[in-house]
Amino acid sequence: MIFNQLLINGIIAGSIYALVASGFTLIYSATRFIHFAHGAIAAAGAYLVYTFFVLLGLNFYLASFLAVLSTALVGLFFFAIIYRPLQKRKSSNAIMLIAGLGLMILIENLLLLIFGADVKSLNFLEVARGKEIFGAIITPLQMVIVAISVLLLIFLQFFVKKTKFGKKMLAVADNPELADTTGINAKVIQYAGFGIGSALAGVAGILIGLEQNIEPVMGVMLIVKGFTGAIIGGVTSLPGAILGSYLLGLSENFGIWYLPSGYKDAIAFGLLLIFLLVKPNGILGINKGVRE
């Protein structure tokens, strides 16, 4: 059943995009700038797990834990030395965006310098025969990817909506000036948002590293897809970013039912353009109206 196979492929792709997009959205909500190097941070996460697992020979789960933790620290480090000083100078969004692009190129080249240009792979799980579910083939690894993504996304949603800290985050995202006069320390929230967002990027990096090859430029594709997912869903809304990412994964995969598979990226960009033109707020990014 080709339909079921494409559905499953779409969900797998969407899960990865959703992890990238939700981290991206979290960072955007807390800091109000577009962190374009977010994909490169995910790439750093993949290389970090490669370092801990393959190069240092640690237990895979310990290596993953350390990789996620250090990805968060890498994100925080760059936030502190690049974005914060620019923010303090009240730099415009364009400057932040360019800084993000610069940072992305810097990280890519650092990875290239340290690890070389050849692709790396984790080879943690043996290539297993896929299981057949409703006529579609899915490997155990792919099931793990989807399960981890979904669990993390549910946990994240719970964290933001139900905990006091999450609500403070929403408040800063909603109205930073008011959050300030309400006595919410925006700086703490920004660091937390950046740290958690980067950790999510680290998870995404690891999951991709499990399925595909690791290469220095992999971050570009990730940020483009994560960004597109976030825009489609509504960039300030976490459920929106998740919904948008799955929608993107599904459209890409169902699109190649009719088109050659090389058009996958074209479908993603096409969707991005359509949404930017027709509904820039995204699906769940409500245009809030203040009643007078």
Partner 1 sequence: MLKIENLNAGYHELHVIKDVSLELKRGSISVLMGPNGAGKSTLLKSIFSITDIFSGEVLFEGEKITGLPAHTLLQKGVAFVSQGRVNFGMLSVMDNLMLGAHHVADKKEVKKRLEKVYDQFPILRERQKEYAFSLSGGQQQMLAIGRALMSEPKLLLMDEPSLGLAPKLVKELFATIVDIRERFQTTILIVEHNLKSLMEFADYGYVLVQGEVVAEDECRNLKKSDIMQKVFVGTFD
Q: By C-beta, is 82 or 171 nearer to partner 1? A: 171
Does the footprint of partner 1 cover residue 117 (CB under 8 A)?
no
Structural contact between residues 67 and 55, judged by C-beta atoms closer than 8 angstroms: no
The closest alpha carbon to 272, from 209, 227, 218, 236, belongs to 227
The closest alpha carbon to 107, from 197, 44, 149, belongs to 44
Of 69, 95, 184, 256, which lies in the binding site for partner 1, with binding defined by CB under 8 A?
Answer: 184
Binding mask 225-264 for partner 1 (x = CB under 8 A): ----------------------------------------
Of 113, 114, 178, 274, which lies in the binding site for partner 1, with binding defined by CB under 8 A?
Answer: 178
* C-alpha dist (Å) from residue 153 to 144, 242, 259: 14, 8, 31
Q: What is the CA radius of gyration of the chain?
A: 19
Contacts of 99 (CB under 8 A, 6+ apart): 82, 83, 86, 91
Q: By C-beta, is 110 or 184 nearer to partner 1? A: 184
Minimum Å gap between C-beta 275 and partner 1 is 20
Contacts of 90 (CB under 8 A, 6+ apart): none
Minimum Å gap between C-beta 27 and partner 1 is 18
Does the footprint of partner 1 cover residue 89 (CB under 8 A)?
no
Of 181, 260, 262, 277, which lies in the binding site for partner 1, with binding defined by CB under 8 A?
Answer: 181
Of 38, 120, 168, 225, which lies in the binding site for partner 1, with binding defined by CB under 8 A?
Answer: 168
Structural contact between residues 122 and 55, judged by C-beta atoms closer than 8 angstroms: no
Does the footprint of partner 1 cover residue 167 (CB under 8 A)?
yes
Footprint on this chain of partner 1 (rule: CB under 8 A): 164, 167-168, 170-171, 174-175, 177-186, 286, 288-292
